[in-house]
Chain A
């Protein structure tokens, strides 16, 4: 492993490498994963800490290396590949990522992930990862900023914006350590300079051993498609009215409720609301 010194802040970006076509040359990561790296790079720039570093961690076979070199070329300071098969379930992926972050990187401040991958796209790994790391989580974000301010422990203050139903937005201040996931539309990964592209070809990729096999084998890897369900034809004179009816855009949600509670009470309230609304069965 290369000695990189101790950075003032470390932002870890998790990339999920997916080979949908059985041809590693066409495999890659989602736009959301790319946006995660771009967001992390932009965050380190605004941290005004010269030794802040961005580390990209992925899990996969050696065929994954070209995308990690892309990350290096774009500006990641270091990349780590957990040498493992890519067909592991989300919880085991998260456990492997957390282990690498703790053992290999000596802990993390901020983890940024994409909120979907090209295959399943459920975005569940960040949530599992937050649980593994005992970190706060804010998922499906559309904006993520640090403005150089730090909290009492010296950790950067992260501000995030999340999309809510009905076109509303939720502004969050996240304490670190935190796992954050961003939508693909948040940012476009910068294009590497020619010199960086060439340097990345020679760079070291740190490889750490990971879990070898999935307990259950996926029969095939394909993009995730939610199941179809029957939706009644929307009512409305114009197409716009019908789209509004379909998406419930602009309508006040029957379930809307704003409460201010401590996190444990808030969690309990959310669970009971989900029961009330029939999303959870007792």
Chain B
């Protein structure tokens, strides 16, 4: 005997940042919501580099900083360019980020995501853990009417499904929302991270911070021959050290990610920071790196896609922001769904308020502006030739060659550009792309 399927207004799949914010927005509008999570608790299966920018939470949870479980507030941001034997760092510190309303923070995902899901639960969302959505339910007309879970009698009927199941979303694929080229391996990077334990005071001495202050180091270069980037983040008594690697490049180079992290940790600029630490965790996860060009159709009849499931992560070199884009897109998906339910139209046109909201806010505006950035940042020139040129230029500027007089900067740049094999046209083209993206 099979029981009647459970029915709610909305089922949100995935209790990551996108899912919890979508569910919260809906519950606050009085809708019955089930938030499904395959892990034993929200965040238990989730990893990332380590810095969240929760400003968007001002809208959902004002004064969030009074309770959010963070590790350290980021007060120092460094951008490092590495070659095999050189390092150049632009280091910025602001005490404005050490006090409310803060800017970014390192946080562990099992803590941060769990907290967000608990907030959703407090708003009336039913969070169902250890439960995986394994497929979509459709009515005779083919319209999506819920999800099938891996539990016995596990069908869950809903007027709307919001897929927040993260990168490589099976639900979005099953709904036919991705075109083939959008899921090509070229669009993804793999992020791998070691969590390295060190005493709190050692971290504070090595990174020049106190109390709850923290450091975010983004690295260009240092990933062997594989296009990508690296990072070092400070938690209270651990460091997050990792690399983000372009998938096809990784396969072509036949290198293993853990070897690349090992090389990064052995670099003279990084080794003193991690020395003596004990690796307590190793994790890896895909990143939808290509941004705008790999975003699926965002709505269909009875379903929306948000967060990494919709490739909302912004990966643009100096910025790697996925959690805030996930929270915002989830929240807007929830709000648009509430509008559609109120209007009694949950077809794709009825749910169109979602894309409108994304287009009016940073979510799609930043992606639109920066749509060329991922390609530029992961290009061979930016990855291999510019770091070498920049490091050589700086080395020569600061090298004292007495009794030779100091060379002029223009001459050094010209010589080093040629030495790195960078054509003037390519330089100009990249500068223009960079200016249009970041300018």
Contact = CB atoms under 8 A, between A and B. Distances in A.
Contacts of A192: 151-152
Nearest to B4: A195
A25 interface: yes
B248 interface: no
A201 B127 CA distance: 9
Contacts of B152: 190-194
A247 to B, nearest CB: 36
Contacts of A197: 128, 131, 151
A193 B114 contact: no
A198 interface: yes
B156 A194 contact: yes
15 contacts: A25-B41, A25-B110, A25-B114, A191-B152, A193-B3, A193-B151, A193-B152, A194-B6, A194-B151, A194-B152, A194-B156, A195-B153, A197-B128, A198-B126, A198-B128
B40 interface: yes
Contact of B131 (A194, A195, A201): A194
B154 interface: yes
Give the interface size bracket for A toward B. 10 to 19
A25 B154 contact: no
B169 interface: no
A193 B128 contact: no
B153 A194 contact: yes
Interface string A187-209: 00011111101100100000000
A193 B153 contact: yes
A176 to B, nearest CB: 31
B422 to A, nearest CB: 51
Contacts of B155: 194
B149 interface: yes
B44 interface: yes
A94 B212 CA distance: 45
The 10 closest A-B pairs by CB, nearest first: A193-B153, A194-B151, A25-B41, A193-B152, A194-B154, A194-B6, A195-B6, A193-B151, A195-B3, A197-B128
A265 to B, nearest CB: 50
Interface in B109-138: 110, 114, 126, 128, 131
A25 B151 contact: no
Contacts of A25: 40-41, 44, 110, 114
Given A25-B41, A25-B114, A193 B154 contact: yes
Interface of B: 3, 6, 34, 40-41, 44, 110, 114, 126, 128, 131, 149, 151-156
Interface string A170-199: 000000000000000000001111110110
Interface string A15-43: 00000000001100000000000000000
A191 B34 CA distance: 19
A92 to B, nearest CB: 30
Contacts of A26: 40
Nearest to A201: B126
Interface string A56-80: 0000000000000000000000000
Interface of A: 25-26, 190-195, 197-198, 201
Contacts of B153: 193-195
A205 B114 CA distance: 23
B151 A191 contact: yes
A226 to B, nearest CB: 27
Q: Most chain-B CB neighbours within 10 Å: which of A25, A26, A192, A198?
A: A25
A198 B6 contact: yes
Given A194-B151, A198-B6, A198-B128, 20 more contacts: A25-B40, A25-B110, A25-B114, A26-B40, A191-B152, A192-B151, A193-B151, A193-B154, A194-B131, A194-B149, A194-B152, A194-B154, A194-B155, A194-B156, A195-B6, A195-B153, A197-B128, A197-B151, A198-B34, A198-B126
B120 to A, nearest CB: 14
A85 to B, nearest CB: 23
A19 to B, nearest CB: 14
A194 B2 CA distance: 12
Contacts of B156: 194
Contacts of B131: 194, 197
A195 B155 CA distance: 10
Contacts of A190: 152
A13 B125 CA distance: 31
A241 to B, nearest CB: 40
A198 B151 CA distance: 12
Nearest to A28: B40
A150 B28 CA distance: 55
A193 B110 CA distance: 26
Nearest to B44: A25
A62 to B, nearest CB: 15
A195 B3 CA distance: 9
A105 B178 CA distance: 57
A201 B114 CA distance: 17
Nearest to B34: A198
Nearest to B41: A25
Contacts of B6: 194-195, 198
A97 B34 CA distance: 36
A93 B336 CA distance: 53
Nearest to A24: B41
Contacts of A195: 3, 6, 153
A23 to B, nearest CB: 9
Q: Most chain-B CB neighbours within 10 Å: which of A26, A192, A194, A197?
A: A194
A193 B153 CA distance: 6
A198 B8 CA distance: 12
A197 to B, nearest CB: 6
B169 to A, nearest CB: 21
Nearest to B151: A194
Contacts of B128: 194, 197-198
A197 B153 CA distance: 11
Nearest to A193: B153
Contacts of A193: 3, 151-154
Contacts of B126: 198, 201
B146 to A, nearest CB: 11
B147 to A, nearest CB: 10
B409 to A, nearest CB: 55
A10 to B, nearest CB: 26
A188 to B, nearest CB: 13
B113 to A, nearest CB: 11
Nearest to A192: B151
Contacts of B149: 194
